[in-house]
Structure 1
Amino acid sequence: MYYQIAICDDSKIDTQYITNFVKCWAQEANISVHIDAFPSAEAFLFHYEEKKDYDILLLDVEMGAMNGVTLAKTLRKENDTIQIVFLTGYSDYISEGYEVAALHYLLKPVQKEKLFSVLYRALDKVKKNEKILNLETGSEILRIPIYEIRYADVTGNYVTIHAKKDYTLKMTLGKLEKLLDERFYRAGRSVIVNITNISRVTKAEIKLRDGTVIALPRGAYEGINRAIINMR
């Protein structure tokens, strides 16, 4: 198996610089990669219409008519799994990365050790996105990709898993929690939320990137913020 990596940067020098590092990292990690480079956000999107299987995107923030943040927002409308790493000469865009679930920001000039560390994290997340949750409902077995699960809540003896579809099963939230991984946080007794889908947290509620609003129990604010920080 090989991994698809895209580099989008309007600087030919920076693109070659990053490409060389990615090749060195792949050799160190003993994996095969295919690298495509794009000089603009528009060029990437034109190619992406035909080829939507990129695993990692190394994305320059400051580009021409469409900047990297706008490109990332466009991608996130339909793609939750691609790992986006912003490359920038400024730290002003960090808050924007929260909205598009960027994996990390790397300040230019990018240091080899920091890039390698982030690429290993990205690879780990790509592999986790391949995990499947198998649940028996009595008459059938449901196979739900874990990354698709946005949140789960409980009513009485039933848990509803909100993914691309909603699945309601007779089970406890505690049992479901044990089947999930560190991407998920139990915010009180009645809800588990996928941290990577969160766009905003207040002391009263959690807002997901699809617009879903989940009430946050009293006293849960600090815990979920720590969980978000630890995921980054």
Structure 2
Amino acid sequence: MKYKIAICDDSEADRQYISGMVQRWAASAGHIAHTELFSSAESFLFRYAEERDYDILLLDIEMGAMDGVSMAKLLRRDNDTVQIVFITGYSDYIAEGYEVAALHYLMKPVREEKLCSVLDRAAEKISKNEKVLTLETCGELVRIPVYQIRYADVYGNYVTIHGATDVTVKMTLSELEKALDERFYRVGRSAIVNLTRISRVTKTEIKLNDGTAVPLPRGAYDGINRAIINMR
């Protein structure tokens, strides 16, 4: 596989150090890594305005005028597939990473075996994001990228899949569940949710990061929390 990887760090020594490890990871895993190095968040965003096809972003948090978390929030407004890995000398920012669905935090000095493990996970998630469901509705075939699915709910003999748009198909929730992967969790008999889209869980509902509330059946609270923990 070929991956386009951005390394954004205000330390030239750190940029070169990480770039060397990325290239060794790619060579050992049989991948091709096209790396681009940036000394600031602003310089990356200038390039990103013209080229939005980055697969992985290795991002320092403590930089100049714009910090890495602020930059990641800007990216997430229109890009929910790029794999963001924060690199930091401090652990204070970890909670903020959940807002931008960061794949991982790497503490400086970065260990090569740890970086390689995280890059393997990023490559696996990118591969999953290429999966597409092909479904028939209203006499036509509809293709839905799996990563876009936020949740699905059932009404009678029909399931509505909520993604970039809502698509209603005649099928059972069990049939849909079999077509999905471990990112998705069955909530009782009425819904399936994308675990990566959850921002909060209460005793009565699941809150998604777009503000949607999915009712949580009685007794399901512990199960979905375990599923979220296992995902991470």
TM-score by length of 1: 0.96
Are positions 1:204 and 2:204 aligned together?
A: yes
Residue of structure 2 in register with 1:86 after alignment: 86
Q: Deviations over 1:131-157 (max 9, x none)?
A: 111112361221111111111011121
Counterparts of 2:136 and 2:194, CA distance in 1? 22
Amino acid at match of 1:158: Y
The answer for unaligned runs of 5 or more in structure 2 is none
Q: Secondary structure at the match of 2:14?
A: helix
Counterparts of 2:209 and 2:45, CA distance in 1? 21
Counterparts of 2:231 and 2:20, CA distance in 1? 28
Q: CA deviation at 1:60?
A: 0.7
Residue of structure 1 in register with 2:193 after alignment: 193
Q: CA deviation at 1:76?
A: 1.0
Contact 2:137 2:168 in 1 (8 A): no
Q: CA deviation at 1:204?
A: 2.5
Amino acid at match of 1:33: A
Amino acid at match of 2:104: H
Q: CA deviation at 1:12?
A: 0.9
Residue of structure 2 in register with 1:3 after alignment: 3
Structure 1 outlier segments of 4+, above 3 Å: none
Residue of structure 1 in register with 2:30 after alignment: 30
203-212 or 106-115, which deviates more = 203-212
Counterparts of 2:114 and 2:135, CA distance in 1? 39
The 1:116/1:22 distance shift into structure 2, 3 A limit, reads same
Task: State the Cα RMSD in Å.
Answer: 1.2
Q: CA deviation at 1:74?
A: 1.1
Q: Secondary structure at the match of 1:64?
A: coil
Q: CA deviation at 1:13?
A: 1.1
Are positions 1:77 and 2:77 aligned together?
A: yes
Q: Secondary structure at the match of 1:96?
A: helix
Q: CA deviation at 1:130?
A: 0.6
Q: Secondary structure at the match of 1:119?
A: helix
Alignment of 1:74-153 (within 5 A): 74-137=74-137, 139-153=139-153
Residue of structure 1 in register with 2:222 after alignment: 222
Q: Deviations over 1:183-218 (max 9, x none)?
A: 111122211111111222222222222221222222
183-192 or 49-58, which deviates more = 183-192
Amino acid at match of 2:135: L
Counterparts of 1:203 and 1:90, CA distance in 2? 33
Aligned residues: 232
Q: Secondary structure at the match of 2:161?
A: strand
Alignment of 1:54-73 (within 5 A): 54-73=54-73
The answer for unaligned runs of 5 or more in structure 1 is none
Amino acid at match of 1:45: L
58-67 or 206-215, which deviates more = 206-215
Q: Deviations over 1:37-91 (max 9, x none)?
A: 1111111111111000011111111112211111111111111111111101111
Counterparts of 1:224 and 1:25, CA distance in 2? 34
Contact 2:185 2:193 in 1 (8 A): yes
